[in-house]
């Protein structure tokens, strides 16, 4: 038995309070509540500010210290016995999609805070400090890119560029940030790049696998990679009544053939692992009596296997050209993120704590991106998934069971103690 699989003397998990954790989700869901029962709490909005202020109130009531950094990331600290040790960090995000749910992101923040409280309630001392984090702007719905807070934390040289980002209304991030931090007068300022010992993120699965397999805990093995493309099809605007078929350069017609060709390429695996989405499709001039002269669309392609990302992604250009008919096609890769694997220290600790607690569990790959993918670049990192109803997420009807949320928080609390005292 190595040090990580050895159970902590007193169990922090036993002090996790399911009702307290659930009530905090209910309280947070009031900020940006939507008619269909979800939330619209976009990053650095008035709703986000109110949610952060309430969180700061809970932190103060508990007697923990709160810190804020230059991009608005929040850190709640419970000191360790070794004043020089880097913290064991856990957290997620408080912002949501415009039609988001009550659990995506906020669960990971509240679970981390619940873990700190439970560890405190159990009277457990840790060698390393423990911290709960709320990363700014994970969703990227209002300000792009997403996972901004965790990205900048791990790459501080990107800060100045991010501060200048504007939302659709022209609000500069820097100004929205100033209003946000002004609402947190008690939070102490903290610079970036303070060392982190390791990071664990708890999150709802956002997919249907745990529920279907009747598992309470997903021990996350990694986050799949992605490649994104912008495809432009350039034809010619023409009169719909007078232009014979032989003379047309119909960009929409060509684009439809291109998409059909791409579907043939990407719908290849019986296991249904590869994800291929044309999520945005824009036709110009988009007028009923004009042959469309210009179309652009996006490809979002994801797979956990690097070799598949390379092999299929590299064929996109060829398929577009082969199906372009008389149009011109321009293919631009807008993003390429390799898959990452969570192995070793944190993943082992998650598995060990889950087994000790006796929860039904399985290994699972994350289909969605998370803040953990950036922390992975600077410290040992892992994730804990809990089920969500029918796998529905990024949707106002997103739902999760209080018992499952508490189970994830119990695993997290024990993992944090194990990692902080190793
Ligand atoms: Zn999330």
Reported as a single tens digit per residue, the pLDDT across 43-63 is 999 999 999 999 999 999 999
Cβ of 319: how many Cβ atoms within 10 Å? Answer: 23
For the chain, percent helix, then strand, then coil, each to nearest 5?
35, 25, 40
For residue 241, the CA-to-ligand 1 centroid distance in Å is: 49
State the Cα–Cα distance between residues 27 and 29, nearest whole angstrom.
Answer: 6
Task: Please check the confidence at residue 71 and state whether its pLDDT lies above 60.
Answer: yes
Reported as a single tens digit per residue, the pLDDT across 8-45 is 446 999 999 999 999 999 999 999 999 999 999 999 99
CATH architecture of 227-337: 2-Layer Sandwich (3.30)
pTM: 0.89
State the Cα–Cα distance between residues 399 and 381, nearest whole angstrom.
Answer: 26
Task: Please check the confidence at residue 302 and state whether its pLDDT lies above 90.
Answer: yes
Task: Please check the confidence at residue 133 and state whether its pLDDT lies above 90.
Answer: yes
Calculate mean pLDDT across residues 262-267: 98
Say how many Å lie between the first and final Cα of the chain, rounded: 13
Calculate mean pLDDT across residues 110-125: 97
Residue extents of the structural domains in the chain: 12-224+340-420, 227-337
What is the phi-psi region of residue 344: left when phi exceeds 0, alpha when psi lies from -120 to 50, beta otherwise?
left
For residue 92, the CA-to-ligand 1 centroid distance in Å is: 7
For residue 11, the CA-to-ligand 1 centroid distance in Å is: 28
Task: Please check the confidence at residue 240 and state whether its pLDDT lies above 50.
Answer: yes
Confidence of residue 306 (pLDDT cuts 50, 70, 90): very high
Element (H, E) at 357: helix 345-357
Calculate mean pLDDT across residues 263-273: 95
Task: Please check the confidence at residue 130 and state whether its pLDDT lies above 90.
Answer: yes
Reported as a single tens digit per residue, the pLDDT across 344-377 is 999 999 999 999 999 999 999 999 999 999 999 9
Token pair of 110 as six digits: 């509240």
Note whether 412 and 118 are within 8 A (CB): no
For residue 296, the CA-to-ligand 1 centroid distance in Å is: 28
Backbone angles phi, psi at 381, to 5 degrees: -140, 150
For residue 110, the CA-to-ligand 1 centroid distance in Å is: 13
Calculate mean pLDDT across residues 133-149: 95
For residue 156, the CA-to-ligand 1 centroid distance in Å is: 22
Task: Please check the confidence at residue 4 and state whether its pLDDT lies above 60.
Answer: no
pLDDT score of 38: 97
For residue 354, the CA-to-ligand 1 centroid distance in Å is: 22
For residue 28, the CA-to-ligand 1 centroid distance in Å is: 15
Reported as a single tens digit per residue, the pLDDT across 159-212 is 999 999 999 899 999 999 999 999 999 999 998 888 999 999 999 999 999 999
CATH, range 12-224+340-420: 3.40.630.10
Cβ of 63: how many Cβ atoms within 10 Å? Answer: 8
For residue 101, the CA-to-ligand 1 centroid distance in Å is: 10
For residue 269, the CA-to-ligand 1 centroid distance in Å is: 27
Task: Please check the confidence at residue 82 and state whether its pLDDT lies above 90.
Answer: yes
How does the average pLDDT of the chain come out, rounded? Answer: 95
Note whether 105 and 139 are within 8 A (CB): yes
Q: Which residue has the higher pLDDT, 145 or 198?
A: 198
State the Cα–Cα distance between residues 312 and 242, nearest whole angstrom.
Answer: 40
For residue 105, the CA-to-ligand 1 centroid distance in Å is: 4
Backbone angles phi, psi at 61, to 5 degrees: -60, -35
> Alpha helices, DSSP H only, in 167-218?
173-182, 209-212
**Range list of β-strands (E), 6-73:** 65-68
State the Cα–Cα distance between residues 351 and 378, nearest whole angstrom.
Answer: 22
pLDDT score of 104: 97
Note whether 182 and 46 are within 8 A (CB): no
Calculate mean pLDDT across residues 385-401: 96
Q: What is the C-alpha radius of gyration for the chain, rounded to an integer number of angstroms?
A: 24
For residue 311, the CA-to-ligand 1 centroid distance in Å is: 29
For residue 304, the CA-to-ligand 1 centroid distance in Å is: 18
pLDDT score of 192: 86
pLDDT score of 1: 43
pLDDT score of 65: 97
Q: Nearest-CA neighbor of 220 among 365, 356, 109, 388?
A: 365
Reported as a single tens digit per residue, the pLDDT across 217-227 is 999 999 999 99
For residue 107, the CA-to-ligand 1 centroid distance in Å is: 9
């Amino acid at each position: 038995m190595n040090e990580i699989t050895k159970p902590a003397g007193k169990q922090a998990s036993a002090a996790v309070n399911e009702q307290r954790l659930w009530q905090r989700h209910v309280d947070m869901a009031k900020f940006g509540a939507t008619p269909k029962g979800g939330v619209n709490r976009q990053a650095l909005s008035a709703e986000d500010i109110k949610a952060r202020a309430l969180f700061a109130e809970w932190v103060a009531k508990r007697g923990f210290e709160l810190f804020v950094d230059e991009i608005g990331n929040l850190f709640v600290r419970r000191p360790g016995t070794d004043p020089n040790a880097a913290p064991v960090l856990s957290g997620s995000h408080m912002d949501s999609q415009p039609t988001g749910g009550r659990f995506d992101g906020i669960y990971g923040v509240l679970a981390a805070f619940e873990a700190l409280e439970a560890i405190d309630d159990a009277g457990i001392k840790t060698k390393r400090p423990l911290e709960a984090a709320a990363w700014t702007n994970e969703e990227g719905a209002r300000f792009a890119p997403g996972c901004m807070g965790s990205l900048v934390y791990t790459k501080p040289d990107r800060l100045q560029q991010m501060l200048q980002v504007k939302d659709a209304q022209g609000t500069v991030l820097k100004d929205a940030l100033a209003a946000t931090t002004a609402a947190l007068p008690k939070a102490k300022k903290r610079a970036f790049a303070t060392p982190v010992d390791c990071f664990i993120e708890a999150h709802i699965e956002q997919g249907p696998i745990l529920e279907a397999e009747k598992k309470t805990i997903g021990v996350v093995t990694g986050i799949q990679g992605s490649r994104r493309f912008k495809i432009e099809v350039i034809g010619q605007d023409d009169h719909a009544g007078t232009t014979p078929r032989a003379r047309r350069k119909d960009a929409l017609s060509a684009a439809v053939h291109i998409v059909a060709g791409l579907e043939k390429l990407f719908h290849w695996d019986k296991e249904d692992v590869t994800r291929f989405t044309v999520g945005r499709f824009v036709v110009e001039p988009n007028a009923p009596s004009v042959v469309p002269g210009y179309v652009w669309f996006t490809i979002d392609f994801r797979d956990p296997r690097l070799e598949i990302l390379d092999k299929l992604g590299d064929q996109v250009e060829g398929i577009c050209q082969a199906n372009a008919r008389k149009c011109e096609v321009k293919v631009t890769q807008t993003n390429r993120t390799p898959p990452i694997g969570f192995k070793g220290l944190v993943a082992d600790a998650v598995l060990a704590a889950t087994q000790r607690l006796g929860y039904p569990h399985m290994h699972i790959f994350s289909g969605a991106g998370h803040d953990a993918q950036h922390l992975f670049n600077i410290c040992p990192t892992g994730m804990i998934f809990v089920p969500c109803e029918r796998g529905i997420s990024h949707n106002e009807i997103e739902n999760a069971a209080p018992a499952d949320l508490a189970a994830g928080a119990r695993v997290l609390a024990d993992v944090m103690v194990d990692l902080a005292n190793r």
